[in-house]
Amino acid sequence: MAKLLQRLGDAAKSGVYRASRLDAIEDALRGSRLGFARIGLQDVTEKSALLRRIAATLGFPGWFGENWDALEDCLTDLSWRQGAGHVLVFEAFQCLPTEELGELIGVMISAAQFWAGRATPFFAVFIDPDRALALASLYHEA
């Protein structure tokens, strides 16, 4: 797991990935200085519920406007969160409509690029044991 922690601490590798298991990520981050958030999307089937779930999990400020632009604004601030970087793990994304999932991934890519440009690690990881998403794997799985 040392290699995974090293990867998650590398701002140059910031991005959006998939992984089969959450436990490997949790194990790698245990005791690290990286901020971690587990965002469960069970039963989230629409944009407004998705944005509210993310806002609640990440503790967004009251000015969050519950739209894609506001999500990107908050994700490129995160001054209220602790950590030397940010690792967001999304679980149970399968309930989301394809269009909303695509928008979410796009916003996460933009946020990762923003933080990488500031030498701060930012990873959005979708737990995808079926490898349904066309995303790179976060780590090599045996």
Domains of the chain: 14-136 (3.30.370.10)
- Separation of CA 60 from chain center: 14
Strand 122-127 to strand 136-137: parallel, antiparallel, or no bridges (unpaired)?
unpaired
Give the tens place of pLDDT for each residue, 95-125.
999 999 999 999 999 999 999 999 999 999 9
How far lies 132's CA from each of 9, 34, 103, 107, in Å? 26, 27, 16, 19
**pLDDT for residue 131 is more than 90:** yes
**pLDDT for residue 51 is more than 90:** yes
Please report the pLDDT score of residue 73 as a whole number. 97
Q: List Cβ neighbours of 92 (8 Å cut-off, separation of 6 or more).
A: 40, 41, 42, 44, 127
**pLDDT for residue 57 is more than 90:** yes
Confidence (pTM): 0.96
For the segment 66-92, the average pLDDT, to the nearest whole number, is 97
